[in-house]
Structure 1
């Protein structure tokens, strides 16, 4: 757990330049509130920190244009939405490849945990 937040899932929206993260737990307690949207500088930092994920995907699917990446840590599943060319596609990654990809996201997840924790503390006043 980093900065008091354990992530349940998150979605990196490259086309919209935003990130949505949902904590599983905050300071050791189950989390039941709405997720946290990162916009502006926070979103840009998170999307930049996702470079290892993009490299992992590019190595397996050269030339892809990623629209969004959703990572569900509970199900250990990754969904990747690709830009329409010639039509939109969704890649579903599970099992060992998903674990490998999620491992690549460790620096990103540390950054998200810090940003989400700060946003939740600000939300609570």
Structure 2
């Protein structure tokens, strides 16, 4: 195998999308930080990647920028849709839970939490 084909096989397509081989880290995870302009060394440490893995991922993103960005935007759109779906599905449940009294023995913790919330709302 040549160096180019080694780099190509380091990025694989799984059911999660374009993924760094041997990890569960997708290029879309990396793209979040690339678009926020984090340095490669920071991204590498954040995901506990080797130097070769981060360099390969960044090189793949750069070489296939249009394709990766199109998929990245699709992933972001789907994530937003899922978030909205589950927020709607759980709206009533969350409202019911919010009005329930605290469980016995947790009153002091609830009072402390309420005080922190009130203090935070005053700052806002």
TM-score normalised per structure 1: 0.32
More helix by share: 2
**TM, length-normalised to structure 2:** 0.32
Which structure is larger by alpha-carbon Rg, 1 or 2? 2
For CA contacts below 8 A with separation 6 or more, give which structure has more relative contact order: 1
